[in-house]
Amino acid sequence: MYNNLRAEMARNNVTVGNLAEILNVRYATVSDKLNGRFRFYYDEAIKIRNHFFPDCSLEYLFEAKEPAKEKRRPAVCENQTATANS
């Protein structure tokens, strides 16, 4: 989740610890937020953007991308496949 934020952190050598320090929260809290377990509050997003990435928009940094879900074939009953093959 937050692939753009993670990419900008890597480009600018910003660590999870750096974010935790500026937000005045624990490292684990920021880690949970980056992994999508909890959300970033608007004021936290503003602090992160203003302090570390002033040239980036909030929309870009905090675009939440869900992992791609595996496409599954629809379930078919055995008796339906048997009649379809007849």
Average pLDDT, the chain: 85
39: Cβ contacts below 8 Å, ≥ 6 apart: 33
**How many residues would you count in the chain?**
86
pLDDT at position 64:
79
Measured CA to CA, the distance from residue 29 to residue 31 in angstroms comes to 5
pTM score, whole prediction:
0.73
CATH topology of domain 3-61: 434 Repressor (Amino-terminal Domain) (1.10.260)
pLDDT in tens, 5-41: 999 999 999 999 999 999 999 999 999 999 999 999 9
Residue 76 has pLDDT above 70, yes or no: no
Residue 43 has pLDDT above 60, yes or no: yes
Whole-number percent of the chain with pLDDT over 90: 72
Give me the residue spans of the domains in the chain. 3-61
Give 44-70 as a DSSP string.
HHHHHHHHH-TTS-HHHHT---PPPPP
